[in-house]
Structure 1
Amino acid sequence: MTDAPLVRRHTDLAVAVLTLDSPHNRNALSAALIAQLTEALDAADADPQVRAVLLTHTGSTFCAGADLKAGGIRSGPRLLVELITRIATLTKPVVARADGHVRAGGLGLLAACDIPLAGSAATFAFTEVRLGLAAAVASLPVLVRADPRAAARYLLTGEAFDTAEAVRIGLVTAHAEALDGILAGLRASSPQGLAATKEITTAQLRERIAATSAGLEQQSIALFESADAAEGIKAALERRDPPWAI
């Protein structure tokens, strides 16, 4: 392994472009990736020349969720809560573009963004339930942003769905073709106006984080430490069905 950055950044006409660049593990939410992404978000928030953030990725996966091979079970849920909170409290809007697979905690990351977009190659699934887990922390933004009936279906079944369905249920704002127009609108907007408007639009998410994140974090840790999860994760890494699959 090299010390190459897991999150690359550059600025494009007042937009800080942050690229998840850890394709060897499908941009999984390792402690190192979360730390680098948080640092990049902080830098963008502090830069008066930056109007908005665009989060994108390399490889065929936007984010695969928790890094199941890296350990860190007890710290992972807390780190994801902190990342979702940082996106929600950033004074600048965060646009995301997913052009590949989005799984598990990656859906929490995507849903936390203010304007998530997805290309035709994107697919989505809350795979936790099939591993003996639950999308506990990821549900924080999902249950605020998406249609609750549709969210319940996909959280409970682990079914995969496409971009058209993600847009229909409100998990994704629009297809990726809308990106240029959205960025043009953000670039034309007042920094003060954007910050004040974001505070309004994220109020419900920030309230849910404050009220429920501690309990969801503890639930997630308990599930990760269970016998069912140990078997489910082992089966996933071995590319076989767990014993409860019929």
Structure 2
Amino acid sequence: MTLVRCSHEHGITTLTLDSPHNRNALSSRLVAELQERLAEAAEDARTRAVLLTHIGNTFCSGADLRETGTDGPQSLVRLMRAVVELSKPVVARVDGHARAGGLGLLGSCDISVAGEGATFAFTEARLGLAPAVISLPLLPRLDARAATRYYLTGERFGAAEAVRIGLVTAGEQELDAILDGLRRGSPQGLAESKALTTAGVRRAFDRDADALAGLSARLFASAEAREGMTAFLERREPVWAR
């Protein structure tokens, strides 16, 4: 059973995250399938843009905390870079929850829309972690004061606030107009226009990816993170929050 479903209609290739049993977490299998589908879309002459969406009430919950291994941060870096460097625009549609690493995937997309039921939170600090590698696409795009607040507090916020701070482009009602505009773009025009708008993000990847992946790996291996992730899986407060 595939975890990333693919369909195509009128110039738009839709990739649907279909792993609701773990809230579309970034398991090694889902990441590998998504990268494969993105590579296929890049080679598909019919595709003007990619629409990334989801099954269930969660767009993406972030890392799969039940998987262990040291390649997780680098794997997420490679996935986000694949989205940023794809020659075709990638549009995210969020009609549910997005958390932690899922926000890095969202932030890597060129355009994003959110429904009224969408919620967002940077939960890493509550788990003994930090939004390390996801900062590569996010910090160049987010309002600085808002990033500070939500990185530190882990507060949940909705679609309107996500638009205000630059995490999301627009409400879901704008999706049809956005896709129609992308269908009218030429392959060359879209590719070169995307290159202009992602230049700062690509520089962040070139400059900081290795250091932030190292930071993330170190934090995941720490005693505090083990306690935070165990507490999350056991649905209890970590020791520092009691």
TM-score (norm 1): 0.97
Report 1:96-111 matches (<5 A).
96-111=92-107
Q: 2:3 aligns with which of 6, 22, 45?
A: 6
Distance of 1:239 and 1:138 partners within structure 2: 25
Q: 1:171 aligns with which of 128, 150, 167?
A: 167
Distance of 2:145 and 2:9 partners within structure 1: 38
| Moved beyond 4 Å, runs of 4+ | none
Distance of 1:19 and 1:240 partners within structure 2: 32
Distance of 2:43 and 2:230 partners within structure 1: 42
Distance of 1:101 and 1:180 partners within structure 2: 21
Aligned equivalent of 1:193: 189
Distance of 2:4 and 2:68 partners within structure 1: 20
Q: In the alignment, residue 52 of structure 1 is paired with which amino acid?
A: A
Distance of 1:155 and 1:142 partners within structure 2: 11
Q: In the alignment, residue 186 of structure 1 is paired with which amino acid?
A: L
Q: Shift of the alpha carbon at 1:229?
A: 0.3
Distance of 1:145 and 1:64 partners within structure 2: 21
Unpaired runs of 5+ residues, structure 2, are none
Matched, 1:39 2:39: no
SS, match of residue 35 in structure 1: helix
Unpaired runs of 5+ residues, structure 1, are none
Q: What's the C-alpha RMSD, in Å, of the aligned pairs?
A: 0.6
SS, match of residue 155 in structure 1: helix
Matched, 1:27 2:12: no
Matched, 1:157 2:161: no
Distance of 1:183 and 1:134 partners within structure 2: 34
Distance of 1:77 and 1:159 partners within structure 2: 23
Aligned equivalent of 2:131: 135
Matched, 1:236 2:232: yes
Q: Count how many residue pairs are aligned between Structure 1 and Structure 2.
A: 242
SS, match of residue 19 in structure 1: strand
Counting aligned pairs with the same residue, the percent is: 59
Q: Shift of the alpha carbon at 1:148?
A: 1.2
Q: 1:214 aligns with which of 210, 216, 219?
A: 210
TM-score (norm 2): 0.99
